[in-house]
């Protein structure tokens, strides 16, 4: 009788271990296959410096893969950005844009035509905020948007004094500083 109880208890533990192992495997991130579609999306994005939207990338990729769907492009762009292979630029301007250069660098957006370009030269980091200076947060990164008028919009006479683009909290300091 004692042996039977032990065997039953042992079976329970084995089943428990198997279930736990299955749950762990299910929750583990599966390595992503590098599909032909994903490779073409990456190659086309790295060829351009215009920081296209997903629809723009879709238009580029369709030249090489005419049967690709817009949903496939969206999913692959999201995956590539989560993996850090590309940058997803989400500004207050609406649609996300994508950059094939994953290295840390800054961008500037035209407030009239929404064109996005890389900023070259010395960085324009003016805040100089050091980790945890103003809060108890663990700072994981920084997202700063530079905006202005591109040369084409400026030449067309766009109004650079348009107050809707001036930050309302321009002169406020961090309450903790």
Looking at residue 148, what DSSP letter applies?
E
112's tokens: 């009239």
Q: How confident is the model at residue 167 (pLDDT cuts 50, 70, 90)?
A: very low
What is the arithmetic mean of pLDDT over 41-47? 97
Does the pLDDT at position 13 exceed 50? no
CATH class, range 104-166: alpha beta
pLDDT of residue 68: 97
Residues, the chain:
177
Q: What is the pLDDT of residues 69-113, one digit of tens each?
A: 999 999 999 999 999 999 999 876 578 999 999 988 888 888 888
31-103: what fold?
Arc Repressor Mutant, subunit A (1.10.10)
Looking at residues 129-139, what average pLDDT do you find? 66
Q: Environment class of residue 78 by beta-carbon count within 10 Å: exposed (0-12), middle (13-18) or buried (19+)?
A: middle
Contact between residue 86 and residue 100 where contact means Cβ atoms under 8 Å apart: yes
Are domains 31-103 and 104-166 of this chain identical in fold? no
Q: Which of 89, 101, 39 is nearest to 65 (CA)?
A: 39
The residue whose two tokens read 């629809």 is: 55
Cα dist. 138→99, 120, 130, 176 in Å?
26, 29, 11, 15
Mean pLDDT of the region 46-73: 96
User: Which pLDDT score, from 0 to 100, does residue 113 have?
Assistant: 87
What mean pLDDT value characterizes the chain?
75
- For the chain, the domains span 31-103, 104-166
């Amino acid at each position: 009788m004692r042996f039977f109880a032990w065997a039953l208890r042992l079976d329970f533990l084995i089943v428990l271990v198997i279930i736990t192992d299955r749950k762990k495997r299910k929750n583990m991130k599966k390595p992503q296959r590098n599909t032909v579609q994903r490779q073409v999306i990456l190659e086309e994005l790295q060829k351009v410096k215009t920081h296209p939207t997903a629809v723009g990338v879709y238009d580029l990729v369709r030249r090489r893969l005419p049967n690709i769907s817009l949903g496939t492009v969206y999913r692959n762009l999201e995956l590539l950005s989560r993996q850090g292979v590309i940058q997803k630029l989400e500004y207050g301007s609406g649609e996300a844009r994508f950059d094939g250069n994953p290295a840390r660098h800054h961008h500037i957006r035209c407030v009239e035509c929404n064109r996005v370009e890389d900023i070259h030269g010395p960085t324009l980091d003016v805040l100089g905020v050091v980790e945890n200076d103003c809060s108890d947060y663990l700072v994981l990164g920084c997202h700063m948007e530079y905006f202005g008028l591109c040369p084409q919009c400026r030449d067309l006479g766009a109004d650079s004094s348009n107050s809707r683009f001036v930050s309302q909290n321009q002169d406020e300091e961090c309450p903790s500083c």
